[in-house]
């Protein structure tokens, strides 16, 4: 054997040993890497992930969950109780703008029409006294739209059943811009002002005006207007604020609702024609009920999956319902969908059906209420007794004490359009809106005119 061959053979063996050592080190590193990834639950292979049943289930769940989230953002932006509420779009005036245009045209036409000269006080056919107190607003005088929308569209017979009173809420009525406008005498049955001959009372009103004591004066105005309406002999009294707009056909809907309220209770305080939905969400005091309902759903899903697995096992059918799968579906996927349900908002997921509903809490505010004449007399006494406070808060406190039923008509027949409160206002920078602007019924804007009918969708979405 030659010396060159021996040297070459040694080199070959040395190279083989080096390669074997390198392979061993690489395998050890790979083993350590794989062990580390397993220790930290890192996926070893994307293809392996996508082929497992839990992984595919997770991907399907995420896809549909994100899809539902997008749908909720599109469908429930108008619901103030929803996490998807979008103030920039939700407060858009749609139907109320249409009604404002109709009311304005009606008022303009009434300015060139002869005033109602005949006295209709205590007329036998009077069914409702319509009372509205108005004061000068710092910007626009909403009362034109408010009163115009209530009278516009009434049939002659309906108009003859209404005794309409407007209180000019100034000690000097000349201070109000509408006082000499022709439509005021044309459309109303009585223009009410303060009685200057009652010196003590008049001086007190003058004092409240000068001191801007809005709460005392507003309470007095409400009771003063109610007393005047009681003199009309009408069985029903509707008190409407001067910064609202009414849906066309509000009167027959109200009469029908009053009959329904009477059939449901013999001792009720008012029928609310306006409410705002923003306080009708998942209120925190009911969290035990929501928690119990959620746990019941989770337990029901888990029980159903266990029962299905047992059934398939007894029938010798293959089943992929492992304990981990059942846990994932019932304790992760199901709570996620429950969370989305609550995020969607109560008004969207559990809308109130059209009709008359009890609304003992959270309705807000006093934009439009109807009382029976018997109840109105009691309201006058209560307001005179309290004297100081906001009318709606006084009424709610009294109703809670006496356990009086309170009703609301759904959908709302009135919209609040006032951007500036006559009682003073503040401004929230977060929503770039005043408090008055946020007193809003979002469902009202969904009214539509189809032919001669005014229709409303069954949901707020």
Q: Give the mean pLDDT of 11-34.
A: 47
Burial of 168 (0-12, 13-18, 19+ CB in 10 A): buried
Question: What is the predicted pLDDT for the residue at 389?
Answer: 82
Model confidence at 46, pLDDT cuts 50, 70, 90, reads low
High-pLDDT (> 70) share of the chain, %: 80
Which alpha helices (DSSP H) does 128-280 contain, by range?
143-151, 156-160, 182-187, 199-211, 214-230, 250-264
Q: What is the pTM of this model?
A: 0.81
Model confidence at 452, pLDDT cuts 50, 70, 90, reads confident
What phi and psi values does residue 269 have, to the nearest 5 degrees? -90, -55
Q: At what angle do helices 391-402 and 373-386 cross, to 10 degrees?
A: 110
pLDDT digits (tens, 9 = 90+) for 378-411: 999 999 998 778 999 999 999 999 999 999 999 9
Q: Give the mean pLDDT of 102-122.
A: 79
pLDDT > 90? residue 165: yes
Q: Give the mean pLDDT of 266-292.
A: 92
Which alpha helices (DSSP H) does 248-286 contain, by range?
250-264
DSSP helix/strand/coil, 377 = helix
Q: What is the DSSP string of 306-329?
A: HHHHHHHHHTT------HHHHHHI
Question: What is the predicted pLDDT for the residue at 39?
Answer: 45
361 contact partners, CB below 8 Å, separation of at least 6: 279
Question: What is the predicted pLDDT for the residue at 460?
Answer: 43
- Distance in angstroms (rounded) separating the CA atoms of residues 193 and 123: 22
First to last CA, the chain: 96
Would you tell me how many other CB atoms lie within 10 Å of the CB of residue 72? 21
Q: Are strands 448-450 and 453-455 parallel, antiparallel or unpaired?
A: antiparallel
- Distance in angstroms (rounded) separating the CA atoms of residues 321 and 57: 12
Per-position b or e across 329-364, b if 16+ CB within 10 A of its CB: bbeebbeeebebbbbbbbbbbebbeeebbebeeebb
Question: What is the predicted pLDDT for the residue at 166?
Answer: 97
pLDDT > 50? residue 5: no
Q: Give the mean pLDDT of 80-109.
A: 95
Burial of 447 (0-12, 13-18, 19+ CB in 10 A): buried
Question: What is the predicted pLDDT for the residue at 459?
Answer: 41
pLDDT > 60? residue 16: no
Per-position b or e across 406-422, b if 16+ CB within 10 A of its CB: bbbbbbbbbbbbbbbbb
Question: What is the predicted pLDDT for the residue at 60?
Answer: 86
pLDDT digits (tens, 9 = 90+) for 67-85: 999 999 999 999 999 999 9
- Distance in angstroms (rounded) separating the CA atoms of residues 331 and 444: 39
Alpha carbon 118 to chain centroid distance?
43
Question: What is the predicted pLDDT for the residue at 36?
Answer: 45
Top pLDDT among 355 and 26 is at 355
Q: At what angle do helices 373-386 and 214-230 cross, to 10 degrees?
A: 150
Residue 294 Ramachandran class (φ > 0 left, ψ -120 to 50 alpha, else beta)? alpha
């Amino acid at each position: 054997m030659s010396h060159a061959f021996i040297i070459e053979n040694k080199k070959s063996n040395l190279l083989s040993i080096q390669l074997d050592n390198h392979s061993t080190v690489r395998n050890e590193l790979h083993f350590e890497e794989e062990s580390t990834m397993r220790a930290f639950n890192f996926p070893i292979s994307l293809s392996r992930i996508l082929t497992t049943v839990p992984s595919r289930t997770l991907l399907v769940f995420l896809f549909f969950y994100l899809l539902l989230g997008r749908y909720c953002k599109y469908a429930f932006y108008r619901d103030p109780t929803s996490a998807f509420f979008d103030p920039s779009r939700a407060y858009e005036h749609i139907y109320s703008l249409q009604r404002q245009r109709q009311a304005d045209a009606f008022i303009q036409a009434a300015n060139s029409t002869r005033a109602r000269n005949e006295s209709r006080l205590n007329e036998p056919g009077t069914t409702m006294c319509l009372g509205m107190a108005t004061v000068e607003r710092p910007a626009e005088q909403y009362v034109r739209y408010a009163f115009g929308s209530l009278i516009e569209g009434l049939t002659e017979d309906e108009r003859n059943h209404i005794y309409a009173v407007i209180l000019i809420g100034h000690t000097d009525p000349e201070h109000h811009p509408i006082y000499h406008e022709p439509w005021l005498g044309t459309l109303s049955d009585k223009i009410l002002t303060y009685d200057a001959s009652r010196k003590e009372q008049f001086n007190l009103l003058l004092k409240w005006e000068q001191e801007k004591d809005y709460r005392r004066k507003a309470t007095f105005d409400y009771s003063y207007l109610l007393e005047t309406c009681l003199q009309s002999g009408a069985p029903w009294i509707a008190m409407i604020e001067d910064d609202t707009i009414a849906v066309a056909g509000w009167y027959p809907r109200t009469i029908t609702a009053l009959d329904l309220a009477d059939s449901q209770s013999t001792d009720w305080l008012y029928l609310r024609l306006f409410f705002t939905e923003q306080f009708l969400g998942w209120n925190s005091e009911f969290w035990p009920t929501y928690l119990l309902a959620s746990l019941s759903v989770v337990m029901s899903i888990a029980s159903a999956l266990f029962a299905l697995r047992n059934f398939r096992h007894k029938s010798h059918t293959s089943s992929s319902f492992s304990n981990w799968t059942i846990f994932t579906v019932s304790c992760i996927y199901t709570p996620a969908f429950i969370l989305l349900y609550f995020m969607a908002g109560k008004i969207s997921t559990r809308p109130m059906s059209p009709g008359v509903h009890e609304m003992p809490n959270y309705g807000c505010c006093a934009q439009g209420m109807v009382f029976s004449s018997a109840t109105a007399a009691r309201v006058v006494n209560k307001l005179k007794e309290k004297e100081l406070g906001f009318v709606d808060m006084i009424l709610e406190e009294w109703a809670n004490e006496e356990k009086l039923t309170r009703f609301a008509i759904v959908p709302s027949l009135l919209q609040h359009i006032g951007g500036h409160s006559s009682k003073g206002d503040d401004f929230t920078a977060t929503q770039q809106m005043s408090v008055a602007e946020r007193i809003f019924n979002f469902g009202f804007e969904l009214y539509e005119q189809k032919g001669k009918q005014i229709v409303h969708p069954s949901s707020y979405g």
